[in-house]
Structure 1
Amino acid sequence: MRTFPIALAAALALPSVANAQETAGKVTPLFAEDAVLEVTITGPIKQIVRKAKRSTDAYPAILATAGETLPIELSARGLSRRQKSCRFPPLRVKFPETKADGSLFRKQGSIKLVTHCLTRSSAEQLVLREYAAYRLFNVATPKSHMVRLAQITYVDEGEVVDRKLGFFIEDTDDTARRLGMEEVDVDRISPRSLDRQDAARYALFQYMIGNTDWAMIVGPKPGDCCHNSKLLQAKEPGSTGMTPVPYDFDSSGIVDAPYAEVNETLGIRDVKQRKYRGFCQFNDLMPSLAARFRAQRTDFESAIAAIPRLDAENRAQVRDYLASFFADIADDAALQKNLLDDCR
């Protein structure tokens, strides 16, 4: 991880599809396939859940999948979900031992696991809708976190505590390595430090999924840029423009989680109400980016259609929400009225 001064110029080109394909060989084994994993996690699940609101202490546990059994350290993670929203917290899985070459978790050190959060039967559908948001950004750009669905059985002292869908998120260092980049550690930055294309695409995507719970130039606390985003930088000497990579989409309209809180300072009344939060200095790029998104509409819709186990009602809701986005960017006039006039 490199540390950079605040003032940096922005000028990185968008990688081509060919470049994205060339990096495919660098994907870690866990994210090399899309099939839903069958995973069993055995450990002090009840204790972790009970203490989650006040503790992220790690506990020894066992992860079993795909014919292998691995020692892990399991802990609650996150902020708002862990402390405010979830009956079952999001988890972090750490692998303290080196894995064999044939292991599905080879090269994994510490990895985030998105869990079902709520215990109701519909909780899995929310997981799938957030998973869908990640897959949509995968369509938009290879500069995105890969994800892997898993059917997880949680066992504590021989008792099955729960069995729910979740998904693993590619670690940011692995995302950077896959792209020939590296993560940047900064306090906060100027919009001028961002790669213009990547920042504009980021803002358009966040509008597409109806997410306002993010920032790409500042974090929630000093030294931690940025809020629900990571910054990547090309490794070449003299490279400048930083790429914001978003994560954590449970507060978005496309997920529509019952616990999601509206940011009233933005003048919206419902998490499904979209609000454009892109920077005005990137407006000149938006017509061409919107045209590209329109050209990719079939790919976006195919990504939704391919989400396994998303039921018909939720699939239709996600598809309809996506359709309303394309109505908002139907042409340059609609783009200007619905998005760019609200730029910052």
Structure 2
Amino acid sequence: MKFAIYFLCCLITWFSGYTQHIDKKVNSDEVSPLFKDEKPLKIHLTYSKEHILSYTNDSSYIKSDLSYQKEDGMMASIETEVRARGNYRRSNCYYLPLWIKINKEASQGSIFQDDKKLKLVLPCLNSSRSNDDVLKEFLAYKIYELISPYHFDTKLLSIQLKEEKKGKNIDHDLMGIFIQDDKKTASIHQGNLIKRHIHPNNQDPLSSARNAMFQYMIGNTDYSIAYQHNEKLFFIDDKIVPIPYDFDMSGLVNASYAVVSAINNKPLPISKVTDRLYRGFDRDDEIIQEVRNEFLNHEIDNYNLMDQYKSSFKYPKEFTECKSYVESFYKIIKDDKKFENRILKRERTKLD
């Protein structure tokens, strides 16, 4: 009897996921030209960290030279402004993550016509494995895109960066990620961006549990859906939905600079970022089992997705460890006892 009920739940979850996939195809016309295909976009960017830090703030930008590769293979320049984003990286990283703002008139007829403001993710460190770290973070975004109908669209970039430093030009070949702007994401889903803090108990239980399971999957504790730390809240389809971003502190990426998060200056009970800790809030068992089945149903999809980018890694070991980390997650959620001890018994009942 229990097996029959479990099978029925799996079938319902699979059908739900299938219909969501159909809906995505139906709404594919709403996808911006920039995000329509999976082919990495080649861009050239001129960049001065010193100027960006000195002359930009949360509202001011400076002009920068950016060009991108068109479908015919030719490079086209486009009028662009940039500013720094992210407090941690301003002080700790060689490269700055940026906001990119593209001139409205210049964007017309280009792949940027629907996305005139974008987040640009660059490697943190100037090291040999930094591009592989970016690839792993990109895979995290794409995995969540498979799991959740609500996500940020992303574009993998091959960047030729000309760094202006102390009167010299230094060339860098980098991987990067364009991330869709929050307001554009809200518009696509015919929803609204929420600026205030909202308790997780007042958020959509399914979306919240799905988000928490994903964060557990990639080994990330550097987030808060209550206080919108590396999360954005949206009002979509008459419910409050969290959407995650910034995964460089996760165990999946396992960056050399990553550290375990401290909550209210209190250390978490794990010693390294590759240790998983479930941080989701208490939900009905039916919700958690539904999310569990969603992830199980996408296991092969996740592996196939990762395999598509295997050849893009500089170091094969980085890819192997990344995929093995995802496989270790599935070993946990396939085992009833491990699932109960490491997830169900770890559900939170209060903010901390």
> Structure 1 length normalisation: TM-score?
0.86
Change over 3 Å in CA distance of 1:318–1:64 after alignment to 2? same
- Structure 1: how far apart are the matches of 2:345 and 2:84? 41
SS at match of 1:60: strand
Kindly indicate whether residue 328 of structure 2 is the aligned counterpart of residue 328 of structure 1: no
- Structure 1: how far apart are the matches of 2:200 and 2:130? 37
Kindly indicate whether residue 148 of structure 2 is the aligned counterpart of residue 141 of structure 1: yes
The structural deviation recorded for 1:55 is: 5.6
The structural deviation recorded for 1:70 is: 0.8
* Amino acid across the alignment from 2:136: R
Unaligned runs of 5+ in 2: 1-15, 70-74
* Amino acid across the alignment from 1:75: R
Change over 3 Å in CA distance of 1:125–1:278 after alignment to 2? same
- Structure 2: how far apart are the matches of 1:173 and 1:179? 10
- Partner residue of 1:118 out of 122, 125, 128: 125
- Structure 2: how far apart are the matches of 1:251 and 1:329? 22
- The answer to whether the 8 Å contact 2:80/2:101 transfers is yes
- Structure 2: how far apart are the matches of 1:329 and 1:86? 35
SS at match of 1:242: strand
- Structure 1: how far apart are the matches of 2:98 and 2:173? 15
- Partner residue of 2:202 out of 181, 189, 193: 193
- Structure 2: how far apart are the matches of 1:26 and 1:288? 28
Change over 3 Å in CA distance of 1:119–1:49 after alignment to 2? farther
Kindly indicate whether residue 259 of structure 2 is the aligned counterpart of residue 261 of structure 1: yes
Deviations 1:253-305, CA, capped at 9 Å, x for gaps: 00001111212522110000000001113444112211221121000111111
What is the alpha-carbon root mean square deviation over aligned residues?
2.2
SS at match of 1:203: helix
- Partner residue of 1:74 out of 76, 82, 86: 82
- Corresponding pairs, count: 317
Runs of 4+ in 1 over 4 A off after TM superposition: 49-52, 54-57
- Structure 1: how far apart are the matches of 2:123 and 2:52? 12
Higher normalized contact order (CA 8 Å, seq sep 6+, divided by chain length): 1
Which position in structure 2 is the counterpart of 1:36?
A: 40
- Partner residue of 1:171 out of 178, 181, 202: 181
Change over 3 Å in CA distance of 1:211–1:246 after alignment to 2? same
The structural deviation recorded for 1:94 is: 0.9
- Structure 1: how far apart are the matches of 2:276 and 2:298? 20
Change over 3 Å in CA distance of 1:71–1:271 after alignment to 2? same
- The answer to whether the 8 Å contact 1:23/1:178 transfers is no
- State how 1:229-244 maps to structure 2 within 5 Å: 229-234=231-236, 239=238, 241-244=239-242
> Structure 2 length normalisation: TM-score?
0.84
Which position in structure 1 is the counterpart of 2:192?
A: 182
The structural deviation recorded for 1:160 is: 4.2
The structural deviation recorded for 1:322 is: 0.5
Deviations 1:140-161, CA, capped at 9 Å, x for gaps: 1121111111111122489343
How many percent of aligned residue pairs carry the same amino acid?
Answer: 29
* Amino acid across the alignment from 2:67: A
The structural deviation recorded for 1:180 is: 2.7
- The answer to whether the 8 Å contact 1:200/1:282 transfers is no
The structural deviation recorded for 1:51 is: 4.8
Which position in structure 2 is the counterpart of 1:16?
A: 20
Change over 3 Å in CA distance of 1:36–1:166 after alignment to 2? same
Change over 3 Å in CA distance of 1:214–1:100 after alignment to 2? closer
Deviations 1:25-68, CA, capped at 9 Å, x for gaps: 111111111111111113x524246759x966522112111242
* Amino acid across the alignment from 2:205: R
SS at match of 1:144: coil
- Partner residue of 1:99 out of 90, 95, 106: 106
